[in-house]
A and B are shown apart, each in its own frame.
Chain A
Amino acid sequence: MGDEKIDKTIMVELSNTFKDAVSEVDVPSLNRAVARIEPGKVKEIMQFLLDKGFDHLSCISGIDYPPDKMEVVYHVTSYSAPLVITLKASIPRDDPNIDSLCGIYWNANWYERETYELYGIKFTDCPYMKVLLLIEEMEGEWPLRKDYAGYPDLT
């Protein structure tokens, strides 16, 4: 079942190809690998992984680290191998911007819309950006940030 070509050597290849953009590579268990990436290079790195057979974007999530940092986390995996690569990009909290992946992985769109409405992280060049789960009035509340005080009771 598992594709012979898709294994952890991809992490070595990745850090060799993107010397300045990939750091803190870690392989915690058999099927997991973690790395930190430069937010400006996210599209090139994802395109590289897609070409290497990582054809399934599992999920995109945001994490809030007040007072100054936010993270966008990508879980990329493959339909033919069990390795899940977790890539983290740190972005400044006062101006959270990162490139959209919609041009590379079609299904990135809903994950980006969700991360945008919950954290206020803006995805540059996203083809369709609109609140997904929340009501439109809540755009700008960013409820999953750690300092969110709660939506006022309007009843």
Chain B
Amino acid sequence: MTHEDTQITSPPKPSEILLHLGPQHPLQPGPFVLDLKIEGETIREAELHIGYIHKGMEKVFEDRTYLQILPLTDRICYLASNSNNDVYCRGVEELLGIEPTDRAMYLRVLTNELCRLQSHLLGIGEFTTDVGFLTMFIYMVREREGIVSLLEAITGSRLNHNYARFGGVANDLPPGYKEMALKILGDVKKQIKSHDAMMSSDSIYCRRTKGVGVLTAKEASELGVAGPPLRATGVEYDLRRMEPYLVYDDLDFKVITQTEGDVFARVKVRFLEMLESIYIIEQCLDQMPSGPYKQDVTPYITRPKPGEVYSRIEDPRGEMGMYIISDGSDKPYRFRIRGPAFATSQALPPLLLGGYVADVAAIAASMDSCTSEVDR
């Protein structure tokens, strides 16, 4: 890999044309421009331009108190809002020197896995639209509706949940939640298996995805990607196993890997991960201890001691990290967001080189990027 793989180095020759994809296109998860220099149908050079929805969140956070930042972490990426809440709260908890209660830890794992489920469902749904399989999108959104209703029942909101709190969570489980969850999850599990079987056995789908956009394990770690695109190459890198946070140590789950590293493998990893997530949620519902779900007092103004923390989490898309520096005041001195989609987006242009224009949508969607989080 060289850095010339990520840029358009020269104007197109007479045999080549420059094709701009974006910033607005129905196939995109958000606004960005992908410039392609193509010769015939083959991509010679590719460059990604981002920043169309740059919100300056890192600057905004320097001017908000710790509690005010909490709902804003949802907005980094609405599909990963629970994970973002959790990673932020764990960072601040470490600065404050407090621990969440046992029940809160289980509740956070439960919502994080529900969050992973709905993110993967929508991610696969968008991906299938991009490869021209619109029916599957409708199915995926139907299954996702059940998961979102489970999240809504706990957190009270459907998208930006704002659920974790310093030392606990906002709400306890509503009455009868376990029965409702087991019923919905059972249905979703059955449907996921059937969709997976349907897609894997479809010859047109397989021809569009197998051997396309191949990333080897060595290339993937060189490009710095994490999450499903990396695990699809066979690297067992999952922070839930590597650096067990919350109660992942007490739960039984497999780290899903595939070896091919192509578009098909990346989608397959997401399918299998969803089944693991359901398994984790079932264990959480069984093992959840009783007791308080939050600390007695959640202070409105928190002033952590001067210090710094780097907390990270296995987000639905990969490794989400937050680097918080406290100077002893009620606002962070510096807040750095290290998003997983930023890393996968950077790796997109080299993946496209030498491929066909018709495969661009499939490859880009299989990386499951989130422009909102890339731009922050």
What is the interface of chain A, defined by CB distance below 8 A to chain B? 1-2, 29, 31-32, 34, 55-59, 61, 63, 73, 75, 79-82, 84, 86, 102, 105-107, 109-110, 118, 127-128, 131-135, 143-144, 148
Q: How far is the CA of A144 from the CA of B59 in the complex (A)?
A: 6
Given contacts A61-B323, A127-B3, contact A107 B347 (CB under 8 A): yes
Within 8 A of A (CB), among B227-255: 230, 235-237, 239, 241-243
A/B interface sample: 30 pairs, CB < 8 A: A1-B236, A29-B94, A34-B308, A55-B221, A56-B224, A59-B323, A59-B336, A63-B333, A79-B235, A80-B237, A82-B242, A84-B310, A84-B312, A86-B308, A86-B310, A106-B3, A106-B222, A107-B346, A107-B347, A109-B3, A109-B346, A110-B342, A131-B51, A132-B50, A133-B54, A134-B51, A135-B51, A143-B56, A143-B59, A144-B59
B343 contacts chain A at the CB level, 8 A cutoff = yes
With A61-B334, A127-B2, A144-B59 already in contact, 7 other A-B pairs whose C-beta atoms are closer than 8 Å: A31-B243, A59-B321, A63-B334, A75-B310, A75-B321, A86-B308, A133-B375
Q: How far is the CB of A139 from chain B (nearest CB, A)?
A: 12
Closest residue of A by beta carbon distance from B56 = A143
Q: How far is the CA of A109 from the CA of B346 in the complex (A)?
A: 9
Which of A1, A63, A73, A118 is B242 in contact with, Cβ under 8 Å? A1
Q: How far is the CA of A58 from the CA of B235 in the complex (A)?
A: 16
In the complex, what residues of B have CB within 8 A of residue A110's CB? 342, 346
Q: Do B241 and A75 have beta carbons less than 8 Å apart?
A: no
In the complex, what residues of B have CB within 8 A of residue A128's CB? 3, 6-7
Q: How far is the CA of A56 from the CA of B237 in the complex (A)?
A: 11
In the complex, what residues of B have CB within 8 A of residue A31's CB? 243
What is the interface of chain B, defined by CB distance below 8 A to chain A? 1-4, 6-7, 50-51, 54, 56, 58-59, 94, 221-224, 226, 230, 235-237, 239, 241-243, 308, 310, 312, 319, 321, 323, 325, 333-334, 336, 338, 342-343, 346-347, 375-376
In the complex, what residues of A have CB within 8 A of residue B346's CB? 107, 109-110
In the complex, what residues of A have CB within 8 A of residue B338's CB? 58-59, 75
In the complex, what residues of B have CB within 8 A of residue A102's CB? 3
**6 interchain residue pairs of minimum CB distance:** A107-B224, A133-B51, A82-B243, A59-B338, A127-B3, A61-B336
Q: How far is the CB of A46 from chain B (nearest CB, A)?
A: 13
In the complex, what residues of B have CB within 8 A of residue A63's CB? 325, 333-334
Q: Do A106 and B224 have beta carbons less than 8 Å apart?
A: yes
In the complex, what residues of A have CB within 8 A of residue B56's CB? 143
In the complex, what residues of A have CB within 8 A of residue B243's CB? 31, 82
Q: Do B224 and A105 have beta carbons less than 8 Å apart?
A: yes
Given contacts A61-B323, A106-B224, contact A133 B50 (CB under 8 A): yes
